[in-house]
Structure 1
Amino acid sequence: MIAKRVLLAFFISLPFIFQSCDTKQNYDALQDGDLLFIVGKSQSEQTNAIKKSTSKLDEIPFSHVGIVKFEDENVYVIEATPSDGIIQTLLYEYMQKAEKRNGKPLVAVGRVKPEYQYLVPLAVEKAGDQLGRPYDYAYEEGNDAYYCSELVRFAYLDSLRNPIFPAIAMTFKNRETGETEAYWTKHFAGLQQEIPEGKPGTNPADMAKSPVIDIVHTYY
């Protein structure tokens, strides 16, 4: 009976053992303030629409990004999510949001270049100060809400308080067909506003190609 209990306890603990190992592996490649770009699992219309509007077929369609934060003995990712707004997520849980290729998560680590490293502590602090704020469904700069790459853009400010990631003209059109994605038409109609096509903003796929960062590691 005792042997059975020990064996049962071992199997129950296995997921936690593997989770710990996986987290440690991911931990070794990271630094405070790193940006984790992921290809989100295609289980929502919004994620699919983001991919199609920001990436071409021959590109890795990063659809989400968060900021790494080390706290005590844990590694977190500060992120803006449609479901919960600005939250702080354990690294392991964040990694589970990514699609996989050959069993490996489609996650890339972006790190601001050496000349911007002095900005990291304030960027992490500023992102953390936004915890609890709502998600920016309007994709509009200047309100009190943030979408994922907008959070990053306004966390990383230079000594003059200007974003080091310049704004780009947003598009909600399919990069392959040039037609506005049906999801975005429905989304903005529900908000009773026009699609902000061409307005200043950002997105994870283009941010991952920014000249102010280096992609220092990929998990795929």
Structure 2
Amino acid sequence: MKTKRAFIGLSLAVLLVFGWIAVHAKPDLPPLDDGDLIFQTSTSSQSLAILMATASTYTHMGIIRHRAGQLVVIEAAGRVRETPLDAWIARGLFKRVAIYRDPALTPAQVETVLTSAGGLYGRPYDIFFSFENDAIYCSELPYRAYQAAGIELGRVQTVSELNMDNVAVKSLIRKRWQSHAPCKENGFGFDQCYAAILQQTLITPVSIADDKRLRLVFSNYPL
């Protein structure tokens, strides 16, 4: 636990100290392929909780694709949608991004990944990070899209495996738990609902980034 907290503190310090360098600089990206996976540190209200829970600065991610001569990111944000790559990068903290690629991905698999992701367009964002509903959260999107192509990305974990013992995470859960469908259906109070949430399974951005199939093709993170 202390190691995780030290990593989080160091990562945030480095981002804050060196982040200003990238504020006005557009990343000089290499050629990108359809199906590449892009990660950033989101500036959303839940980003700190995700960072603390996962001990990673990767708090949001999406899938790269070419569309009408430009690069877009397929993402789950508000709803599953396409966002121009430049706008997606500009929205992240200090414009920091990391891009990973599965070098073994075949053209047929790329097509399946994009088609599967496309079938999720319009789905609402899942604030409970659950596989058990129709809503989609950011890392669930590429996980399901690659799964359709026969590839199991990352490692599915229970929520209890994450770093839950911190103010940011607990505050986020306290704000949302009363809207959690299984807890409402069962008439759970906070303690019962929290225990149920801990048993949920999920896939995190950093778990996908750590998959041995993937190769880092670009990063402007300072670490």
TM-score class, shorter: 0.7 to 0.9
> Residues 158 and 134 (structure 1 numbering): CA distance in 2 closer, same or farther, change over 3 Å?
closer
CA distance in 2: counterparts of 1:147 and 1:179, whole angstroms: 19
SS of equivalent to 1:96 = helix
Checking the alignment, whether the CA contact within 8 Å between 1:165 and 1:212 is kept in structure 2 is no
Q: Distance in 2 between matches of 1:184 and 1:141?
A: 17
Q: Which has the larger radius of gyration?
A: 1
Shift of 1:132: 0.7
Query: Which structure has more helix as a fraction of its residues?
Result: 2
User: What corresponds to 1:51 in structure 2?
Assistant: 51
Q: What is the CA-CA distance between 1:76 and the residue it aligns to?
A: 0.6
Q: Which amino acid aligns with 2:90?
A: Q
Bigger Cα displacement from structure 2, 91-100 vs 108-117: 108-117
The answer to whether 1:147 aligns with 2:143 is no
- Aligned-residue offset at 1:90: 0.3
Alignment partner for residue 35 of structure 2, among 30, 33, 36? 33
**Change over 3 Å in CA distance of 1:173–1:188 after alignment to 2:** farther
1:169-217, CA deviations, whole angstroms, 9 ceiling, x for partnerless residues? 2348546759952212322234363242142211112221112211121
Letter in 1 for 2:84: L
Could you give the per-residue CA deviations for residues 133-163 of structure 1, whole angstroms, max 9, x where no partner exists? 111123221321110001111000266x563
Tell me: CA distance 1:181–1:174, structure 2 relative to 1, closer, same or farther (3 Å): farther
Q: Deviations over 1:84-128 (max 9, x none)?
A: 21111000010012212xxxx221001124166652221011111
What TM-score, normalized to structure 2? 0.72
Which runs of no fewer than 5 residues in structure 1 stay unpaired? Answer: 1-20
CA distance in structure 2 between the aligned counterparts of 1:139 and 1:191, rounded to whole angstroms: 11
Partner of 1:71: 67
Partner of 1:86: 80
Amino acid at match of 1:85: R
SS at match of 2:121: coil
CA contact (8 A) 1:38 1:106 kept: yes
Query: Closer, same or farther in 2 for the Cα pair 1:22/1:106, shift >3 Å?
Result: closer
Shift of 1:219: 2.7
Structure 1 match to 2:21? none
Match of 2:122 in 1: 132
State whether structure 2 residue 96 is matched by structure 1 residue 106: yes
Distance in 2, matches of 1:77 and 1:110, equals 13
Q: 1:164 to 1:191 in 2, by over 3 A?
A: closer
Is the alpha carbon distance of 1:124 and 1:51 closer, same or farther for their aligned partners in structure 2, counting shifts above 3 Å?
A: same
TM superposition score normalised by structure 1: 0.73
Point out the more displaced range, 85-94 or 177-186: 177-186
| CA displacement, residues 3-23 of structure 1 (integer Å, 9 cap, x when unaligned) | xxxxxxxxxxxxxxxxxx948
Cα–Cα, structure 1 residues 94 and 158, in superposed 2: closer, same or farther, change >3 Å?
A: same
Q: Which residues of structure 2 form unaligned runs of 5+?
A: 1-24, 184-192
> Taking every aligned residue pair, what percent have the same amino acid on both sides?
25
The answer to whether the 8 Å contact 1:119/1:157 transfers is no
| 3-state SS, counterpart of residue 93 of structure 1 | helix
Q: Distance in 2 between matches of 1:162 and 1:217?
A: 22
- The amino acid across from 1:106 in the alignment is R
